[in-house]
Amino acid sequence: MSALGSAPRPALETAAMVRAGELSAVEVLEHHLATIEAHEDDVRAFTLVTPDEARTQARAVDAAVAKGEDPGPLAGVPIALKDNLCTRGLPTTCSSRILDGWRPPYDATVVTRLAAAGAVSVGKTNMDEFAMGSSTETSAIGPTRNPHDLTRVPGGSSGGSAAAVAAGFAPLALGSDTGGSIRQPAALCGVVGLKPTYGTVSRYGLVAFASSLDQIGPFAGTVADAALLFDVIGGHDPLDSTSLNRPTPRVLSVLDEGVDGMTIGVLAEYLDGVDPDVAARVHQAAEALAAAGARIEEISVPEVALGLSAYYLIAPGEASSNLARYDGVRYGLRVDAEDTAGMNTATRSAGFGAEVKRRIMLGTYVLSAGYMDAYYNQALKVRTKIIEGFDRAYAQCDLLLGPTTPTTAFALGAKTEDPLTMYLSDVCTIPTNLAGHPAISVPFGTGDDGLPIGVQLLGPALAEGDLLRGAAVVEAAAPPMAPPALTASLRGGSQENREGVS
Amino acid sequence: MSTEWTMVIGLEVHCELKTATKLFCGCPNAFGDEPNTNVCPNCLGLPGSLPVLNQRAVELAMAIGTALHCDIRPSTFHRKNYFYPDQAKDYQISQYDEPLNVDGYLDLPDGFRVGIERAHMEEDTGKTTHAGSSGRIHGADYSLVDYNRSGVPLVEIVSAPDIRTSDQARAYVTELRAVLVASGASDGKMEEGSMRVDANVSVRRGADAPFGTRCEIKNLNSVRSLGRAIEYEAQRQITLIESGESVVQQTRHWDESAGRTSALRSKEDAYDYRYFLEPDLVPLVPDAEWIQAVSDTLGMMPAERRARLAQLLTEAGGPSEAQVDQITTVVDLGLDDLVVEAVAAGVGTALALARTANEAATDAEAARVLDPKAYAELLTLEAQGSLSATQAKAVLADLLAAGGGDPAAIARDKGFEAMSEDSLAATVAEAVQTNPDEWSRFCEGDDKLAGFFTGLVMKATKGQANGKAVAAELRRLRG
Amino acid sequence: MAEPARLTREDVAHVASLARLALSDDELDTFTWQLAEVLDHAADVSSLDLDGVAPTAHAMAVTNVMRLDEPQVCLDRDEVLAAAPDVEDYRFKVPRILGEAP
């Protein structure tokens, strides 16, 4: 039924069959590699595809099964990794020229956990440079295209991961979400994207953008697959001081418990100014939740309106410091100059793209003497107000509901000239990051343009269980959505840009 | 220096903590290893790396705070942002406006009290070597960076501007060093850079005038250069003011060979460090129980150790001026336990103190790990007259080299059998018979000649005879 | 809170130098209006009266996260230095440095 040859099999089913010896991991992998081969030139989801390494992993999974061992809950499931996750010996570029040629000498904790669970990594996915962007257009190798319409953006910054799942390149992918970078592309590409509670998934080996906001999370075709992946990657890690040392919610086992008796608030501020077709889908999802036994209330959290401004002071502030280390001394790009300061400047000026420079300068400015109190410290206080606002809401209800994005996927190039309009596409996702809370985007039909719409469920800290139960109900009631056609291929494009990052 | 001028001095001391690993990663905290061997993603500032705080480093920092009578408080870490190649992340993690230890003091041996404003934790940088003829940063063709030291735990101890003379400054650093060693926090080795001192110096007319403009002096690598640099800098400032110019707030570099300071940068170049809370670390909140536990493990501080030795001498008539110096020496070197244990084993306090300050102190590093029982046995043999002072020194050298041993056995191996009383008596008798004139005068009461006869006996026995036994035999013959 | 003065071209040039970025005149112009636009939007935050509100730097309140003082395996030096743009004598080589650390 799909343009990709055969219906994608959910990860949960693949893993069960591989563990039972009914399906070989190599067979599963080859199917997905063939899909990548067929459509990657159109979608451009990857910075790097690693078929050889993947085949080695898949053969190891099959060998384990043959020996009667259990390769783990993700046995033989292909997965795509956002290119800001360190992979030992494999290029990790953050889609930036400045990390050209860098191969990390270590694996991120999530990468280690995936391997231990039997997953098979097929490659590294394209992203906005250093995760700074909402369309994957700031990538040094050029944009990823939305598999549902190749003239549109896939969203960002984890656009490559979202597109890879939507295009059937892998049933699962990992992304990172600092201000919506998992949920927004998931919504625009018609897949499930979960931003977990801050501290539930280790950041060790995630190249930092804004450390107090960054969180790794799953992309999947189904809510159950997202739950499966979250259960594998979550849990305390002593290598990350901000990793929570308390039981992480296990979500797969509670998925079908429904929402009967829950109170779910429709967040009024998130419906302000969104496209009418998007708002209509949110109300339709609310009806589905009500039909499943949830009490629906309208809730107002006025503080979230301040989120965007606070975020664009806090995140660049942290980023300006996190990205100082790209100085041409120890790794990555170096552009030579007479003296070290000149070399630093030449390297950074050549290595970073415009959006990264913009945010580094914004962050440097808001942290600098004389402006720190008016901007950065003031934004940290707003963060407190936003948390208080959410606390008030969660005293009344278990979950909140709203759109993930104000619109469906916009055209490539539509917002690249004016940064502020681009930033506004994250208005519904940012407050969650400031609060450290979890939220999930679930595909829920299409808009007037036929493109995917995502609805977002938000919960308080560590409420992933409730969140996934709600998401399962929404998913079950979702209007049908055609699979990506991948027909409107834009040949030619900016082919030469693809050589930019090796 | 004209008498009306007085100095105001504040000292900032950086001390490397004696941990097994670095402040934020598990790389060894070691000096002198092959370059770039003690490194990991964290201390190299690799993308994706994260810091995790070393508990032992925190406890040593708390021990310093306790020893300096500070309030130990909830604290946080900040990032101090600046580009420099020895700074792997291009920011330093340091405690900024909420340091672990605040508001303490250090009493100098003469009783003068210096306030401690704060003692906070931070990470060290890597080490840069400058290639070129000068070996210094200026005129170098290029530089080389080794990150082994990157992330080594430091505590920066900031004194109040209470110090008034270069002697006090030297006494402060000497005493602080002894406190750091006694608390187990640091080895206090200035020569290896594990203790580094910056001095803030200003001058004013009289003792009550407002503080003058200060300069910060860097690159002070010994207590001696600290004293010299302060004297030079104060005189430089006085000369400036007396010639009608004013002091510019500056950071200045001490050139040990030239004996002068020179400007590094002025206040106008003050760098904008953009301090902000380190988001990769969480607040450090020591509770009362933890603070108490650290305090309970803290050994005796130098002041207490000096008092303990002085007390032992009080029982024997009180310390002489020379003995006060000996006490300071053994406590500064961490050798006072040797004295106390020897005294407990029955050795006289004066002998134990003198031998420790004069002999054991020559190899303090070995003496600190010497078996105290063996040391006490050695001093007992000497006190009993079984070994001469010369023989005892030779045995001590062997004990220090081996870290312990049986002093009697070592003495035997060296052929230091105590002379039998008969053979001693025979030697003394021969000296008397061959020098009848001197013997008569000695018998008539010229006691100075005892030294003459002792010398002859020592010469005849090649120093093997015990001086006290010789004197006793001479007195016996005189009757 | 008093609103800070509007961002100028000179501010952007100063910040670029602090951040070790070299900008062309055109870039300077573009960045100046773009950053000013973002900061103008942030006026809703900078103009709020938030006296007495505690700042939140960490969303999750966690304290005293530490590790034991136990050595871990270090990276292989050859692998570390292989990533470096320039190396001499097992050290990272950089062009001359014009001043002491600030």
| pLDDT tens string A378-390 | 999 999 999 999 9
Contacts of B78 in chain C (CB under 8 A): none
CA–CA gap between residue A487 and residue A167 (Å, rounded): 12
Q: H or E stretch including B16?
A: strand B5-16
Tell me: the pLDDT tens digits for A470-494? 999 999 999 999 888 774 333 333 3
B74 plus B13 within the same structural domain: yes
Cβ separation C85–A379 shorter than 8 A: no
Residue of A nearest to B144 (CA): A329
Closest Cβ opposite residue A330 in set C1, C92, C97: C92
pLDDT of residue B448: 85
Contacts of A207 in chain B (CB under 8 A): 47-48
Which two tokens mark A364?
Answer: 């440097």
Q: Is residue C31 a part of any domain in this protein?
A: yes
Tell me: the pLDDT tens digits for B344-353? 998 989 999 9
Cβ separation A239–B53 shorter than 8 A: no
Residue of B nearest to C71 (CA): B26
CA–CA gap between residue A342 and residue A329 (Å, rounded): 12
Query: Which residue of B22, B72, B144, B273 to mutate against C (max C Cβ within 10 Å)?
Result: B144
Residue of C nearest to B17 (CA): C69
Residue with tokens 């009493």: B107
- Which domain-ending residue is among B296, B316, B333? B296
Contacts of A242 in chain B (CB under 8 A): 279-280, 282
pLDDT of residue B251: 92
pLDDT of residue B428: 87
Q: In terms of C-beta density within 10 A (0-12 exposed, 13-18 middle, 19 or more buried), how is residue B54 classed?
A: buried
Cβ separation A309–C44 shorter than 8 A: yes
Asked if the C-beta of B143 comes within 8 angstroms of chain A's C-beta atoms, the answer is yes
pLDDT of residue B316: 65
Query: Which residue of C66, C94, C100 to mutate against A (max A Cβ within 10 Å)?
Result: C94
Tell me: the pLDDT tens digits for B423-464? 778 888 888 888 889 898 888 888 888 888 888 888 887 777
For residue A207, the distance in angstroms to the closest alpha carbon of chain B comes to 4
Closest Cβ opposite residue B83 in set C20, C62, C89: C20
Cβ separation A325–B89 shorter than 8 A: yes
B363 plus B263 within the same structural domain: no
B56 plus B192 within the same structural domain: yes
pLDDT of residue A485: 76
Tell me: the pLDDT tens digits for B9-29? 999 999 999 999 999 999 999
CA–CA gap between residue B85 and residue B87 (Å, rounded): 5
Tell me: the pLDDT tens digits for B204-227? 998 889 999 999 999 898 999 999
Residue of B nearest to C59 (CA): B279
Tell me: the pLDDT tens digits for A204-232? 999 999 999 999 999 999 999 999 999 99
Percentage above 70 pLDDT, chain C: 96
pLDDT of residue B139: 77
Asked if the C-beta of B143 comes within 8 angstroms of chain C's C-beta atoms, the answer is yes
Contact A217, A174 (CB under 8 A): yes
**Terminal Cα distance for chain B, rounded:** 63
Cβ separation B52–C75 shorter than 8 A: no
B432 plus B287 within the same structural domain: no
Closest Cβ opposite residue C59 in set A212, A340, A379: A212
For residue A99, the distance in angstroms to the closest alpha carbon of chain B comes to 9
Cβ separation C75–B41 shorter than 8 A: yes
Above 90 in pLDDT, residue C87?
A: yes
Contact A6, A36 (CB under 8 A): no
Tell me: the pLDDT tens digits for B268-279? 667 899 999 999
Residue of B nearest to A331 (CA): B46
Query: Which residue of A203, A241, A348 to mutate against B (max B Cβ within 10 Å)?
Result: A241
Dihedral sign of CA atoms A238, A243, A248, A251 in order: negative
pLDDT of residue A489: 39
* pLDDT band, residue B478 (cuts 50/70/90): confident
> A83-87, B153-157, B302-306: lowest mean pLDDT where?
B302-306
pLDDT of residue A27: 96
Q: In terms of C-beta density within 10 A (0-12 exposed, 13-18 middle, 19 or more buried), how is residue B363 classed?
A: middle
Cβ separation B41–A241 shorter than 8 A: no
Q: Is residue C42 a part of any domain in this protein?
A: yes
Cβ separation A241–B47 shorter than 8 A: no
pLDDT of residue A490: 37
Q: Single out the residue of A195, A201, A122, A145 nearest to residue A440, CA to CA.
A: A195
Collapsed DSSP state (helix, strand, coil) of residue B454: helix
Cβ separation B34–C63 shorter than 8 A: no
Mean pLDDT of B231-256: 94
Instruction: Return the partners of chain A (3 or more C-beta pairs < 8 Å).
Output: B, C
Q: H or E stretch including A467?
A: helix A464-477
Closest Cβ opposite residue B81 in set A84, A321, A327: A321
CA–CA gap between residue A315 and residue A253 (Å, rounded): 35
- Which domain-ending residue is among B237, B270, B296? B296
For residue C50, the distance in angstroms to the closest alpha carbon of chain A comes to 7
Asked if the C-beta of C68 comes within 8 angstroms of chain B's C-beta atoms, the answer is yes
For residue A238, the distance in angstroms to the closest alpha carbon of chain B comes to 8
Q: What is the secondary structure of C31-73 as a DSSP string?
A: HHHHHHHHHHHTHHHHTS--TTPPP-S-SS-----EE-S---P
Return the half-sphere exposure (C-beta side, CA atoms, 13 A cut-off) of residue A218.
27
Above 90 in pLDDT, residue A8?
A: no
Q: B459 or A500: whose pLDDT is higher?
A: B459
Q: Single out the residue of A50, A132, A133, A47 nearest to residue A95, CA to CA.
A: A47
Q: A502 or B111: whose pLDDT is higher?
A: B111
pLDDT of residue B334: 84
Tell me: the pLDDT tens digits for A163-175? 999 999 999 999 9
Above 90 in pLDDT, residue B102?
A: yes
- Which domain-ending residue is among B273, B296, B319? B296
Q: At what angle do helices B321-332 and B349-358 cross, to 10 degrees?
A: 60
Total count of domains within chain C: 1
Residue of A nearest to B79 (CA): A321
B9 plus B113 within the same structural domain: yes
Q: How remote is the C-alpha of B343 from its chain's centroid?
A: 24
Q: Which residues of A are catalytic?
A: 82, 157, 181
What is the domain range of residue C30? 9-47
Tell me: the pLDDT tens digits for B125-136? 999 999 876 667
SS (H, E, C) B155-205: EEEEECCCECCHHHHHHHHHHHHHHHHHCCCCCCCCCCCCEEEEEEEEEEE
What is the domain range of residue B278? 5-296
Size of interface B-C (CB pairs under 8 A): 133
* pLDDT band, residue C28 (cuts 50/70/90): very high
Asked if the C-beta of A369 comes within 8 angstroms of chain B's C-beta atoms, the answer is yes
Q: B308 or A497: whose pLDDT is higher?
A: B308
Above 70 in pLDDT, residue B193?
A: yes
The one-letter amino acid code at B223 reads V
The domain made up of A9-304+383-500 has a fold known as Amidase signature (AS) enzymes (3.90.1300)
Cβ separation B281–A205 shorter than 8 A: no
pLDDT of residue A6: 47
Query: Which residue of B23, B90, B278 to mutate against A (max A Cβ within 10 Å)?
Result: B90
Total count of domains within chain B: 3
Cβ separation A345–C75 shorter than 8 A: no
Instruction: Return the partners of chain C (3 or more C-beta pairs < 8 Å).
Output: A, B
B246 plus B308 within the same structural domain: no
Cβ separation A324–B282 shorter than 8 A: no
Query: B319 — alpha (psi -120 to 50), left (phi > 0) or beta?
Result: beta
Q: What is the number of other CB atoms lying within 10 angstroms of the CB of residue A296?
A: 18
pLDDT of residue A7: 52
Above 70 in pLDDT, residue B417?
A: no
Return the half-sphere exposure (C-beta side, CA atoms, 13 A cut-off) of residue A488.
9
Contact A457, A469 (CB under 8 A): no
Which two tokens mark B92?
Answer: 């330093």
Asked if the C-beta of B448 comes within 8 angstroms of chain A's C-beta atoms, the answer is no
Above 70 in pLDDT, residue B325?
A: yes
B38 plus B162 within the same structural domain: yes
Q: Is residue C1 a part of any domain in this protein?
A: no
Read off the CATH number of the domain in which C41 is found: 1.10.20
For residue C72, the distance in angstroms to the closest alpha carbon of chain B comes to 5
- In which residue ranges of chain A is CATH 3.90.1300.10 found? 9-304+383-500
Mean pLDDT of A254-260: 96
B152 plus B272 within the same structural domain: yes
Tell me: the pLDDT tens digits for B365-394? 899 889 999 999 999 988 887 888 888 888
Question: What is the residue-averaged pLDDT of chain A?
Answer: 94
pLDDT of residue B268: 63
Most confident of A329-338, A365-374, B246-255, B402-411: A329-338
B366 plus B396 within the same structural domain: yes
Asked if the C-beta of C66 comes within 8 angstroms of chain B's C-beta atoms, the answer is yes
B135 plus B152 within the same structural domain: yes
Residue of A nearest to B273 (CA): A368
Contact B29, B19 (CB under 8 A): yes
pLDDT of residue B469: 80
Residue of B nearest to C83 (CA): B46
ipTM: 0.96
DSSP-derived secondary structure letter, C74:
P
Contacts of A320 in chain C (CB under 8 A): 19
Cβ separation B142–C96 shorter than 8 A: yes
* pLDDT band, residue A496 (cuts 50/70/90): very low
Contact B36, B147 (CB under 8 A): yes
Q: Is residue C36 a part of any domain in this protein?
A: yes
